[in-house]
Each structure stands twice: as structure tokens, then as C-alpha cells.
Amino acid sequence: MTNFKCSTRQEGPVAVVSAAGEVDLAVVNQLWDKISAQICPAAVVVLDCADVTFMDSMGLQVLVRARNHAEKQHATFALAAVPKPVSRVLRLVGLDHVFPQFSDVEAAAIAHSGQMS
């Protein structure tokens, strides 16, 4: 059994999905449900990865799915506080430049503060 937690909050113009623990096959549907519920036209959705300890290929698939869904909605999907183990996996599979990445959620909110009205 994994120690995965996922929650959402609004931080300024940004809808934040915070994930904590291992992102693997056992929890990807829960993560997708939280992310997809926030993606709507022109939304800015940030996945706060600060407390993610592991991400497998199924987790990466959710990220790609979220990015594609956001693109169709003319929304933005970004990552914040990506820890080294996750950053390494993104880099190894060539996805490190696919997602906008921010040092933390606050930086993402500042970067998008004029994007939404």
C-alpha cells in the first residue's frame, strides 16, 4: 500500500494540485482525477511535486495526458518544485523541456498573475 496523498487549492490565478508520496500505477487515476478536474479553458494548473518521492512511467503518462488535455482547452499545465528523482526521470525520457517548470508554486503564480482575469 502506498502513502500517496493528493489535494487541490487555489493560489492566486493558479489551480494547484499537490501530490505527495509515490506516483505509480496504484495512484495514477486519483492523480488524474484531481488534475483533470482543474483543467478548463484558459486555466493555469500547476502540479506541486515538492513531496513526490517517486514517479514511474504511469505517472509520466498522467503528466503527458494532463499537458495534452490542457492544450486542447487552451489552458496551461506546469510543474513546480520538481524533486531530483522526478527531474531525472523526466530528463531520461526527454520530457524535461515539455512542461513549464517553476521552482515553487509561488513562482508559478507570479509568472501567471497577469494571465487570468
Please give the pLDDT value at position 2.
63
Q: Are the CB atoms for 39 and 66 separated by under 8 Å?
A: yes
CA 112 and chain centroid, separation: 15
As a whole number of angstroms, the distance between CA 40 and CA 83 comes to 27
Please give the pLDDT value at position 4.
96
As a whole number of angstroms, the distance between CA 71 and CA 89 comes to 23
As a whole number of angstroms, the distance between CA 117 and CA 113 comes to 9
Q: Class of 5-111 per CATH? A: alpha beta
pTM reported for the whole predicted model: 0.93
User: What residues does each domain of the chain span?
Assistant: 5-111
Residues of the chain with confidence (pLDDT) below 70: 1-2, 114-117
